[in-house]
Structure 1
């Protein structure tokens, strides 16, 4: 498990996303996660929706099911799956700005809450399915992240996690110059390996039914984000003012690191499918 030199907590994560909210939506879009390219000809928006649909497929979502979106961001993934799969979704985010955006774009059956997943307040066995797209990285207590998902899911429920992962056995220079700074700059309390995640899932009571490394299919997300950010800094004085004056401005240093981390194999992107019972 990679742990940053400066510890990160839920308050730091919330501050990061609240302060940089306009830049995140401009540079990364309102889904705030990677795209998944299948043919290589998809637009960035299509690739993002492909990732969402892949999650829905692996969950085997059925109309009427009660679902949980752990770390839902702006609620875009929850809205898409609610509309396309006819499910109800309760989403959790730490960021008030993200919840405000979700409230301004309501969809029937979607409830977005500003609340820490580690203290979610949901009843035992109250959900049929759950997913976490690039939010487990922000969890201070990752074993509890898995344990809460297991508690909330009904027997037979499925849990899909899309996660930024550290290369198994990453060399010292990759940890020192790529992975540790990515955690620090991205407000990640830790970054695990595939083996870390699978062990924590089993300890929580899950059965690991699937895993796929899709690093090559998501990696082009970051060059796209880098181009969007440079363009915004050049033409938009308000974005430039915010980016240069933000408390969290060192986060932007993570973009070139992420590009290099994928190219060197220091960082992986994995999709886990888990089942309860």
Structure 2
């Protein structure tokens, strides 16, 4: 338990240093889906912030992950690992559902609540503080949909998280999610060279593969057709990470004393970029369901 709390604490502290919220996007701390011909392919050279094409790509990612769940108005949706609440607010506005964001940080829920109030969504979106991989603060079978966007990679106890998801979902309830993965073809040597450094810099316990994620879902008692990728539409994120890393490197080289956070940014960006472009890192997505309760056969007449 203590190692998990330290991992999440380290990750949250890095986010609260504001380089993701102020250098990526103010509302969404995840990767995007880019459409050729619709999104600018050059903005990463200067990494203008905030950038409209990146913002659209981030929302497109949420839409693609959650659309298969067929969320309906009035349903109760839990955004597990909610960050600053951008996904929760988007879901409420898009589907007319009631959303509860759950996160562990002492800082981000305050930001999330203020932005939700500013958006006029207080009656539809609320937030609770909890460690998602230990306990989700909802009654058994009380939730229609759980959304988890690039968050479970931070959890040291993923089987417990998935068990909690199954517990709180009603029969037939859905889990719509995406996560950081290592590719199934990654060898032990490649894992040591590319995945271990990535996990160390980002304070992640480890990465699953598609095969291991599918096993975890089934072990938790959740039904799914499988874990898939995004058909290459997410690869532009790797280009952005590489460009941003080069910008930070040039700034550091032109500075007599490079700030520590610049060095940390370069390390964090370069680890994901290197693993991604060499084919050892990918984004995966899946839709899972809690099985419907099977009716008990009637007792035969005696």
Q: Does the pair score TM above 0.5? A: yes
Larger Rg: 2
Q: Is the 8 A contact 1:212 1:271 kept in 2?
A: yes
Where structure 2 has 5 or more consecutive residues not aligned to the other structure, the ranges are 40-52, 292-302
Of residues 114, 123, 131 in structure 1, which corresponds to 2:139?
123
Counterpart in the other structure of 2:12: 17
Of residues 252, 259, 266 in structure 1, which corresponds to 2:273?
259
Counterpart in the other structure of 1:161: 177
Counterpart in the other structure of 1:216: 232
CA pair 177-221 structure 1, distance change in 2 beyond 3 A: same
Kindly report the root-mean-square deviation, in angstroms, between the aligned alpha carbons of the 2 structures. 2.3
Residue 220 of structure 1: CA displacement?
Answer: 1.7
Residue 252 of structure 1: CA displacement?
Answer: 4.1
The range that moved more, 81-90 or 173-182, is 173-182
**C-alpha distance in 2, partners of 1:57/1:208?**
15
**C-alpha distance in 1, partners of 2:13/2:129?**
12
1 or 2 for the larger relative contact order (CA 8 Å, sep ≥6)? 1
Higher helix share: 1
Q: Is the 8 A contact 1:185 1:251 kept in 2?
A: no
Normalising to structure 2: TM-score of the pair? Answer: 0.80
Where structure 1 has 5 or more consecutive residues not aligned to the other structure, the ranges are 1-6
1:167-246 to 2 correspondences below 5 Å? 167-214=183-230, 216-228=232-244, 234=251, 241=259, 243=261
Q: Is the 8 A contact 1:8 1:188 kept in 2?
A: no
Normalising to structure 1: TM-score of the pair? Answer: 0.87
Tell me the alpha carbon deviations over residues 141-176 of structure 1, each in whole angstroms, 9 at most, x when there is no partner.
111111000001001111012011111141234212
1:24-173 to 2 correspondences below 5 Å? 24-29=20-25, 30-39=27-36, 41-42=38-39, 43-106=53-116, 107-108=121-122, 109-117=124-132, 118-173=134-189
